[in-house]
Chains A and B, each alone.
Chain A
Amino acid sequence: KAGVTQTPRYLIKTRGQQVTLSCSPISGHRSVSWYQQTPGQGLQFLFEYFSETQRNKGNFPGRFSGRQFSNSRSEMNVSTLELGDSALYLCASSSGQGIYEQYFGPGTRLTVT
């Protein structure tokens, strides 16, 4: 099976712009979770989608949003970018049931200047 893929892998944006990140889960997986990783804050949970519905949500401002499509692919959008949004954004997929173990993609490195 192909693993979790994330596009793009690297991104440079300017403050105030918006950005959309994409995640394709492992075939058959219905759950996609998003995480932000920074040196200062570590791994922080953004949200999880299961069968096109947001199932869990972290403590991030409304500038961070996501969605999931019927094929389980997910997108994450960040509007009005701030310097502090510079981070590695990780996507993880799981079956969404049973043991719930998550498999991670390679991440998208976002730099905001």
Chain B
Amino acid sequence: AQTVTQSQPEMSVQEAETVTLSCTYDTSESDYYLFWYKQPPSRQMILVIRQEAYKQQNATENRFSVNFQKAAKSFSLKISDSQLGDAAMYFCAYRQGAQKLVFGQGTRLTINP
């Protein structure tokens, strides 16, 4: 079964600095999708960024970018110029085709002003 591991339960960063959240996954498949979701205190889960495994180019969405290392099965999220509104729980997720979405345990990110 596919598993997703986020080894950092908590992280903190100073406002305006850069932070990287780690995620590794286990799969024997070659075609799949990876996602990062953000869950702020309001509990609304928000899709931050996605990556298709067949694409070598790392996805970028404004201040959010990923470092996708397919061979290492690693999918980290980099947040540049951190803002107070970035404070949230971040979940890494994996999906292969029409199978269920598999989530990691989450990383709680704190932004220090």
Min Cβ gap A108→B in Å is: 10
Min Cβ gap B55→A in Å is: 11
B: which residues have CB within 8 A of A? Answer: 33, 35, 37, 42-47, 50, 52, 91, 95, 97-103, 105-106
Assess the A56–B100 pair: CB atoms within 8 A.
Answer: yes
Assess the B47–A106 pair: CB atoms within 8 A.
Answer: no
Assess the A48–B100 pair: CB atoms within 8 A.
Answer: yes
- A43-B103, A107-B43 known; 5 new pairs, CB 8 Å cut-off, are A33-B101, A58-B100, A92-B45, A100-B101, A104-B45
**Please, how many angstroms separate the alpha-carbon atoms of A101 and B91 in the complex?**
14
**Please, how many angstroms separate the alpha-carbon atoms of A88 and B88 in the complex?**
16
**Please, how many angstroms separate the alpha-carbon atoms of A93 and B45 in the complex?**
12
**A-B contacts, CB under 8 A, total:** 50
A103 interface residue (CB < 8 Å to B)? yes
The count of residues in chain A whose C-beta lies closer than 8 Å to any C-beta of chain B is 22
Assess the A106–B44 pair: CB atoms within 8 A.
Answer: yes
- A90-B103 contact in complex given A99-B50, A101-B33, C-beta closer than 8 Å: no
B contact residues around A61 at 8 Å (CB): none
**Please, how many angstroms separate the alpha-carbon atoms of A102 and B99 in the complex?**
12
Assess the A101–B98 pair: CB atoms within 8 A.
Answer: no
B contact residues around A50 at 8 Å (CB): 98
